[in-house]
Structure 1
């Protein structure tokens, strides 16, 4: 299989999985509804207006800037991916960049379109292609659902700032698109010598008088 097809299949499958899971959760879960799969893994439906892991970014103006920035970044990632394919770099590098691209696109779809295709009822599930959408184009909320509360308790008193306070690990709630970006970056780190090969030093040409 060609590297171009590997990248294309990776991107299409990743985005489809991301959107199917998000749409299912949004149309079957109420905000903050939780299903315990295991003690350390739960499906917990939340939405965020800003960056990954639920961070906010400067209100509505910051939200628009972040969405536009993501769109520009995606163009750069496409160029990076095409350049990687053209250079015939290892498949693991192609897949890693394809995952990063798919993750970025997955969250962009939420940010750009979800505000105009979903409503936002307070005590019931959302409706897809609603006649009364909750927002407007470029102002959609990103859907998150994966929650891994591996440990919950009180931080040891010897830890600065948070010592003695209740806490846990891992408290962030994320989505498939976030996972793709994390996995892609991790693969690039693990296979950094293949992803970022050092250029061979050019041999100096011998000159004669």
Structure 2
């Protein structure tokens, strides 16, 4: 359990340090190329916490989403505790730790960021612990910043039906450390399924009496 908590703490620490740095040093929408590479960027955006920045239901939908996340992370925490208690695969426990830490990292944004940040317009920077925060409890926005458009404004071959000649961007998702941790955890569960969920071999044997 101590090792699991340490992993969760490290992921959470990195996630929150990066988010707070981006939030207080980048204006909303600012983009910086990493090591001068066109396909590796820091691009500061905010969203209500759903995948691909999807939004629904306004403030009520946001509150529902945050409460749902709290219920989900409670279940993940229970899964982690029972897996440790049952001496499950270390790889499984590591994967659950990543998923738990990632989910908790984004929940912190959703629950608290509306209270501890403001959102100035234009090219101004946000302030940590301002006099007038931008939101309220459970109505914060999740901070995303990693953007790797490996093929930006590329064009589909003209011979392809429907999409031929049209432009596309791959990979166009913008994510954070918490999202990356969740993806790694899920990836471990998928690609190392046999190791994290070993099948119990049940051997039925019948005793036979030796006739001498």
- Of 64-73 and 191-200, deviating more is 191-200
Report deviation, 1:155.
Answer: 2.3
Quote the residue 1:138 is aligned against: 138
What is the CA deviation profile of residues 121-161 of structure 1, one whole-angstrom value per residue up to 9, with x for unaligned ones?
01211000111000111010000000001012122345555
Quote the residue 1:75 is aligned against: 74
Structure 1 residues 161 and 135, CA gap change in structure 2 (3 angstroms): farther
Tell me, in whole angstroms, the C-alpha distance in 2 between the residues paired with 1:157 and 1:190: 35
* Equivalent runs, 1:176-187 vs 2, <5 Å: 176-187=177-188
Quote the residue 1:201 is aligned against: 202
Equivalent of residue 27 in structure 1, options 21, 24, 27: 24
Is contact 2:43-2:147 (8 Å) kept?
A: yes
Report deviation, 1:201.
Answer: 3.1
Tell me, in whole angstroms, the C-alpha distance in 2 between the residues paired with 1:162 and 1:195: 40
Tell me, in whole angstroms, the C-alpha distance in 1 between the residues paired with 2:175 and 2:130: 25
Tell me, in whole angstroms, the C-alpha distance in 1 between the residues paired with 2:13 and 2:49: 22
Tell whether 2:14 aligns with 1:13. no
Classify the secondary structure of the residue corresponding to 2:201: coil
Tell me, in whole angstroms, the C-alpha distance in 1 between the residues paired with 2:49 and 2:159: 33
* Equivalent runs, 1:90-169 vs 2, <5 Å: 90-123=89-122, 124-152=124-152, 153-159=154-160, 161-169=162-170
Tell me the TM-score normalized by structure 1. 0.91
Is contact 1:119-1:127 (8 Å) kept?
A: yes
Tell me, in whole angstroms, the C-alpha distance in 2 between the residues paired with 1:160 and 1:71: 44
Tell me, in whole angstroms, the C-alpha distance in 2 between the residues paired with 1:115 and 1:161: 43
Tell me the TM-score normalized by structure 2. 0.90
Classify the secondary structure of the residue corresponding to 1:167: strand
- Aligned pair count reads 204
Report deviation, 1:53.
Answer: 2.8
Is contact 1:102-1:177 (8 Å) kept?
A: yes
Give the CA RMSD over aligned residues.
1.8
Classify the secondary structure of the residue corresponding to 1:24: helix
Greater gyration radius = 2
